[in-house]
Amino acid sequence: MSDIAAQHEIETGSLGVDNRKLAIWTFIASEVMFFTGLIVTYMVMRGRSTAGPYPANVLSVPLVAVNTFVLLGSSFTMVTALSAIERGDARGLRRWLIATAVLGLLFLSGQAFEFISLAREGASLSSNLFGATFFTLTGFHGLHVFVGVIWIAFVLARAFRGGVTQDNHLAVELVGLYWHFVDIVWIIIFTVVYLLRA
């Protein structure tokens, strides 16, 4: 009995939070600084390109707006997945996690399509400052989405083996925290890069 009590104490920790959850929150705080660096670089370099293509001419807001809704929708499916397993609905969890991963892949496909069309217009990392800052910022965000999809795949694999239950669903919470963070970053990038592109 005392053994279980001691074990319990260590898992919930001095702050009453699980170690892993605390670590994810701390990690996200550090990631905020990473994206701040990239976004600030984009803003500082805005309008300093000495040659085209310029953002006002090549960025397609409608396409990316659709893509933004796809990613926002994936946050909704992620919340639904968590809520399903909190009610003990293991099938619902799997279904909504798959939906989230599919939406993530859809977003990445949209981004790939956008990158290819931009490349056709002559934009690249080396074309000018716009290309350099744009592809670095959105590319690293895309990389984060990609990592998120892989992470979801790991959680799904565990869920299919029955490793995620109503009492033990921290894995879903953790990937959810990361996923929502990546989503929020995109809202800022969408605003800064696309809505304020002039």
Binding site for another protein (CB under 8 A): 2-3, 5-6, 9-10, 13-15, 17, 19, 22-23, 26-27, 29-31, 33-34, 36-38, 41, 44-45, 48-51, 125-126, 128-129, 131-133, 135-136, 140, 154
Select 106 or 153, whichever has its Cβ closest to another protein.
153
**Cβ neighbours for 75, distance < 8 A, ≥ 6 positions apart:** 179, 180, 183
Smaller CB separation from another protein, 26 or 191: 26
Residue for token pair 């929502």? 180
Cβ contact 184:32 at 8 Å:
no
> Least CB distance from residue 175 to another protein, whole Å?
12
The nearer residue to another protein, 9 or 86, going by C-beta atoms, is 9
Cβ proximity to another protein, 70 vs 145, nearer residue: 145
Range 75-89 burial, b when 16+ CB lie within 10 A, else e: bebbebbbebbeeee
Q: In the complex, what is the shortest distance from the CB of residue 176 to another protein, in angstroms, rounded to a whole number?
A: 17
Question: Minimum Å distance from CB 150 to another protein?
Answer: 8
Is 130 or 179 the residue whose CB approaches another protein more closely? 130
- Is the bond leading into 55 cis (omega within 30 degrees of zero)? no
In the complex, least distance from residue 136 CB atom to another protein, rounded to whole angstroms: 6
CB of 49 to another protein, least distance (A): 6
